[in-house]
Amino acid sequence: MSKVLEVGKITTTAVMSMKAEGEKIAMLTAYDSSFARIADSAGIEILLVGDSVGMVFSGQPNTLSVTLEQMIYHTSAVSRGAKHALVVADMPFMTYQINPEEALRNAGRLVQEAGAEAVKIEGGRAMADTVRKIVGAGIPVMGHIGLTPQSIHTLGGFRVQGRGAEAADTLTADALALQEAGAFALVLEGIPASLGQRISRELRIPTIGIGAGPDCDGQVLVMHDLLGLFDDFTPKFVKQYALLGEQVAEAFRQYRAEVKQAVFPQPEHCFKG
């Protein structure tokens, strides 16, 4: 039985214990209360309010334009819809890179104003002091290494990371540094499956993979990708469990046709005087 059903409300401690007990962790992105309630009722253990909202919700080409105020708004909505799942909020670009003190203030806003139960930041050893500062104030931190979307200009785009022995060693060292700094879990994105397996075996904390192979302790997908609602680009690692975009478009076409033909509304849809 999933920890969601056993403990009622998922905590970071429960997530960490799932790795120890060999139970895989299911994480999805969410950006509003309605989908948060649906995912929560389906037993999803972690809901990530991702800065991917900039791409799938706002139509931006990347995540760099997302602001802290936008993340507070969307995290608040998800927090109200999640009764069981752990709610993790992405810290957007330039809200944690300047110094640990500013990062702590911004993380505190996501918790205090938006109801986040943990925050996620991108970066390896360079972020260790920041992770330590935030965790020291009582705010759980999820790390994120590999393909880090906020660094796409440095990485040269959305490209697989960690190929080759030197790059693999670097990412492994980053993962260990984040663990020692106090991160409770780590997202591994866009790396070879063999490296995902290596890092997952070396860490005490759980790894959540996205394009990092089947041996991570859990998996995460962007909800819009999983549901077939975002067709601008579908990464190789995405499995579409539904094609809701096509179904929604057909429903809209049917609605339009019935309005044009004066078929909708019928008497049963109207108020009586």
- Selecting among 6, 189, 246, 250, the annotated active-site residue is 189
Q: Is 32 annotated as a binding residue?
A: no
pLDDT score recorded for residue 6: 59
Cα 131 from Cα 194, distance rounded (Å) = 26
User: Please, what is the Cα angle at 230 between 227 and 233, to 5 degrees?
Assistant: 120
Q: Which two tokens stand for residue 76?
A: 């608040």
Listed residue (213, 233, 217) closest to 225, CA to CA = 233
Q: Give per-residue pLDDT as tens, 45-76.
A: 999 999 999 999 898 989 999 999 999 999 99
Cα 97 from Cα 131, distance rounded (Å) = 11
Listed residue (78, 131, 81) closest to 107, CA to CA = 131
Cβ pair 64, 52 in contact under 8 A: no
Q: Give per-residue pLDDT as tens, 251-263.
A: 999 999 999 999 9
189 is catalytic: yes
Domains (range + CATH), the chain: 3-243 (3.20.20.60)
Q: Is 83 annotated as a binding residue?
A: no
pTM for this one? 0.94
Q: Is 52 annotated as a binding residue?
A: yes
Q: Is 232 annotated as a binding residue?
A: no
Cβ pair 175, 197 in contact under 8 A: no
- Cα of 10 vs its chain's centroid, Å: 16
